[in-house]
Structure 1
Amino acid sequence: MPREEGEAGLTDEQHAALVGLLDEMGPIAEELGARFRAGGHELALVGGPVRDALLGREVHDLDLTTDAVPQRILELVEDWADAVWTIGIDFGTVGLRKDGQQLEITTYRSESYDPESRKPEVSYGTSLRQDLVRRDFSVNAMAVRLPEGEFVDPFSGLADMRAGRLRTPGAPRDSFGDDPLRILRAVRFAAQLGFDLAPELTEAASDMAERLSIVSAERVRDGLSKLLLSPDPRRGVELMVEIGAAWYALPEIPKLRLEIDEHHRHKDVYEHSLTVLDQAIELERERGFAPDLVLRLAALLHDVGKPKTRSYEPGGRVTFHHHEVVGASMTKKRLSALRFSKDTVADVSKLVSLHLRFHGYGKGEWTDSAVRRYARDAGHLLQRLHVLTRADCTTRNRRKAAALARAYDDIEDRIERLAREEELNKVRPDLDGNEIQEVLGISPGPMVGKAWRYLLELRLEHGPMSKEDAAAELRKWAEEHGG
């Protein structure tokens, strides 16, 4: 691989990183590059894998680009690849697997949005430089030609990488006009890589944020998900709000900036929500969790119901009664509109609705039955609820914070003890549906469900009982209800 000269040239370490990337690909890089060259075509490793190798990050995806059109790509790899798939062929991409490695090869292209269209129009290009200039950022517009291994950086991506700066290869207004989702990609890369946005990029993003309204909900959802799963999502959210993109992606968040939190007078609700997000991520790490989209969405959105429930009390106190209920409904509506999965929508909404439940715990006055209900209502979300509730404590009063932490330690200990004693997460009534019908002498119907729920309440209130005692309680209940 030739060494680049000049101020923006590769360092020895970066040169070695690219050599190492090609070595990891093994003979695939040379064999595939030679095939395309023999067929009269160019081939280059491009974008993410080159950027990540130069940054010393782990490389996950192998993306390549070529002047060969998709049908020609298929011809060139047909008798060489172990498997080929064409799911992205309409956008010029052919996927393949060789010796256990997956690659995607995309024809040089330029894509743009019609002002009224939600889908990009794709046309093929003829040169590597033309392909690189249409890419989102200069740090993603670097390539390594195959098979010779020549490093190509026509838009100073290496210099921008060293400066920790995001800049577009061409004019940022042209880039965002081609694909408005790049505005969200900019804030995501800032969060993911710790880069700053170039001033001209920030200005263009702010002026053109409204263009995000033509991007499909699914693409916005994917962009938000990647942002929230980045190492520093707070930075991305703040940038998204700062440039106005949040109004078109997650408008509930900028609305929080004007709301005062009655529990945290030193912060507005927006700042409080970002702090909760930070603290939830820290607790994730402490507890050994993988980055959790459901938890992070819940942390960010847990107080979105406050703007609609704000009320002024005598003495100037501001309250937000039932904001968790309103917030859960708003969360469900927003995440559904963004086409998140039903499970994600349900889980995030439930966490929002439950995030205040613990504050009734006080100094441990809850009975065991109340603790059982808390755990049972949380269900499979219990560990996430533990994290969210702890993260929601942002008070600067050390004594109050310590008291809350002790109280939550106590409830977690009690839940664990009860779970050991009676397998809390599997709590069921002491009689099943068939046994209820036999005891009461009834057929399947609504009465069986009512009886089942009554027995469940008994179980939660008093713990397990014998079938004989359960049957006796059931008969007594049935008599009182006209059975």
Structure 2
Amino acid sequence: MNSVASAIQRLDALADSAPVARLAQAFAAAGRELALVGGPVRDAFLGRDLTDLDFTTDARPDEILRIVKPISETQWDIGREFGTIGAIIAGETVEITTYRADSYDPDSRKPTVEFGDTLEGDLARRDFSVNAMALRLPGRVLVDPSGGMDDLLAARLRTPGPPEVSFGDDPLRMLRAARFTSQLGFTAAPETVAAMAELAPRIEIVSVERVAAELTKLLMSAAPRAGIQLLVDTGLAELVLPEVPALRLEIDEHAHHKDVYEHSLTVLEQAIGYERSRGHEPDLVLRIAALLHDIGKPSTKRVEAGGAVSFHHHDVVGAKLAAKRLRALHFDKETITAVARLIELHLRFFGYTEGAWTDSAVRRYVRDAGPLLERLHILTRADVTTRNRRKADRLGFAYDDLEERIAAIAEAEGVAAVRPDLDGERIMEILGIRPGREVGEAYRFLLEMRLDEGPLGEVEAERRLRAWWAARA
């Protein structure tokens, strides 16, 4: 956490910036209150980037719009129903919201919005005390009615009022608690955790889209493990992502095997590490696949003769389960397809360590991964969590070798985009056929040759195609 003096300097600099100064002056001239609120105030003390500029005021939406129009390049009122007006001022995006109090009807998915009249009242209904601090403008007075500063110093996550009331009003705040433990590195207070466990079933009144958005933010945080563990420990994961707590397979004296839940969390952590070391931005598809890659194990678990445990075909089963869960959470089709494919392929490499692959097998590995190849590299490497150093080194060296072979074959053959030596137009021209099923069959024949033997050249490919066609006829 930054020093208080440093945080004050950052807030002063923000207050002096053109968009904030103009906004503060305009609201003061109109006789209205204005305060910078929530994330920017919190992040000034945490030393984090000050990004979202959120303000709150006693003015109602129509008046907010009248005040900001003369000083902004553009405005929008898509959040007017919730009291929010957005604008761009001096090139910066800002949002100004009327003091309010949200609450949920016990049977409703949508919050009931009630406008308030005081800053302190507005702060009291916010999710956590560290987000319930505000800087009054233009006077620059810090307002902290619920002890948010103390919680910042203690790296503690606590609601401004009783957590049962806060989570009862907006159950999504329970998922936010998990997200903030990961984003901020905070620990949820005991009473916060207890209320999450008690009120977990309330999450079912929240829309799937809001739940998915919160899970996405959690997974895209720097250290999602802590948040996921909090969801599992409080029973929330059973309701929003039940495949994860199901990974806590029973371990007994007759069927020893490693804890698949802990293994999956470690794979997620290691995948994030590879993301960074290989120069990639946070990747939602990769992170979901890392967390869910073994969710097929509980339903495929078998105790073999002698007490050994097997999970045959858990890759294929897991891919189907992941796709089903992501569809239920309303993820987009592209994400669902990519995650399922990664899970389906995540065991493919382990055959490489059992015997030398031919160039044909390497080409097929690349072909099957397609645009997911780099993600598959990371997921496969991250899936090695053994404490046996010799085994881990052997697997690491084997994958180094595979990547080197892929690079060499790609340089020699262009295997990164494996295609037959003849395209569909040329196939139809050579065989004198029209578009249809036979063109696809011919294309697949040439593709199999390309994978088996590498580039043949157009002349040889045409000779082979004609021979195949004649034998087929």
Does 1:196 pair with 2:179?
Answer: no
C-alpha contact 1:109 1:125 (8 A) present in aligned 2: yes
TM-score (norm 2): 0.97
Shift, 1:79, TM fit: 1.6
Amino acid at match of 2:264: S
Which of residues 11, 15, 31 is equivalent to 1:18?
A: 11
Deviations 1:219-250 (A, max 9, x none): 11111111111111011111110011101111
Residue equivalent to 1:302: 293
Which of residues 43, 59, 69 is equivalent to 2:34?
A: 43
Deviations 1:48-73 (A, max 9, x none): 01000111111111000011111111
Does 1:255 pair with 2:255?
Answer: no
Residue equivalent to 1:367: 358
Alignment of 1:173-322 (within 5 A): 173-258=164-249, 267-322=258-313
Deviations 1:418-454 (A, max 9, x none): 1111221222111111211122222111010011011
| 3-state SS in 1 of match to 2:70 | coil
In structure 1, C-alpha distance between the alignment counterparts of 2:64 and 2:120, rounded to whole Å: 20
Amino acid at match of 1:13: S
| 3-state SS in 1 of match to 2:54 | strand
In structure 2, C-alpha distance between the alignment counterparts of 1:63 and 1:139, rounded to whole Å: 15
In structure 2, C-alpha distance between the alignment counterparts of 1:63 and 1:121, rounded to whole Å: 21
Shift, 1:278, TM fit: 1.1
Which of residues 394, 404, 409 is equivalent to 2:395?
A: 404
In structure 1, C-alpha distance between the alignment counterparts of 2:349 and 2:273, rounded to whole Å: 20
C-alpha contact 2:174 2:196 (8 A) present in aligned 1: yes
C-alpha contact 2:61 2:98 (8 A) present in aligned 1: yes
C-alpha contact 1:260 1:269 (8 A) present in aligned 2: no
Q: How many correspondences in the alignment?
A: 469
C-alpha contact 1:21 1:53 (8 A) present in aligned 2: no
Shift, 1:260, TM fit: 5.8
Deviations 1:366-385 (A, max 9, x none): 11011011011111111110
Residue equivalent to 2:143: 152
| 3-state SS in 2 of match to 1:288 | coil
In structure 1, C-alpha distance between the alignment counterparts of 2:11 and 2:357, rounded to whole Å: 60
In structure 1, C-alpha distance between the alignment counterparts of 2:71 and 2:349, rounded to whole Å: 60
C-alpha contact 2:22 2:71 (8 A) present in aligned 1: no
Shift, 1:266, TM fit: 5.7
Cα gap change, 1:278/1:320 in structure 2, threshold over 3 Å: closer, same or farther? same
Residue equivalent to 1:3: none
Amino acid at match of 1:468: V
Residue equivalent to 2:422: 431
Does 1:33 pair with 2:24?
Answer: yes
In structure 2, C-alpha distance between the alignment counterparts of 1:199 and 1:443, rounded to whole Å: 71
Residue equivalent to 2:347: 356
Amino acid at match of 1:356: L
Amino acid at match of 1:105: I
C-alpha contact 1:356 1:389 (8 A) present in aligned 2: yes
C-alpha contact 2:256 2:308 (8 A) present in aligned 1: no
C-alpha contact 1:183 1:205 (8 A) present in aligned 2: yes
C-alpha contact 1:46 1:143 (8 A) present in aligned 2: yes
Deviations 1:93-150 (A, max 9, x none): 1110011111000111111111111111111111101100000000000000111111
Deviations 1:331-367 (A, max 9, x none): 1111111111111111111100000000111255111
Greater CA drift, 265-274 or 455-464: 265-274
C-alpha contact 1:142 1:152 (8 A) present in aligned 2: yes
Amino acid at match of 2:82: F
In structure 1, C-alpha distance between the alignment counterparts of 2:109 and 2:6, rounded to whole Å: 42
| 3-state SS in 2 of match to 1:87 | coil
Shift, 1:294, TM fit: 0.9
Shift, 1:165, TM fit: 0.5
Gaps of 5+ in 2: none
Deviations 1:188-213 (A, max 9, x none): 10111111111111111100011111
Deviations 1:66-101 (A, max 9, x none): 111111111111221111011211111111001111
Residue equivalent to 1:337: 328
Shift, 1:259, TM fit: 5.2
Amino acid at match of 1:158: M
In structure 2, C-alpha distance between the alignment counterparts of 1:265 and 1:131, rounded to whole Å: 54
Amino acid at match of 1:447: E
Amino acid at match of 2:398: A
In structure 2, C-alpha distance between the alignment counterparts of 1:335 and 1:237, rounded to whole Å: 17
C-alpha contact 1:32 1:147 (8 A) present in aligned 2: no
TM-score (norm 1): 0.95
| 3-state SS in 2 of match to 1:79 | helix
Does 1:106 pair with 2:97?
Answer: yes
Cα gap change, 1:409/1:259 in structure 2, threshold over 3 Å: closer, same or farther? farther
In structure 2, C-alpha distance between the alignment counterparts of 1:176 and 1:423, rounded to whole Å: 55
| 3-state SS in 2 of match to 1:78 | helix
Gaps of 5+ in 1: 1-9
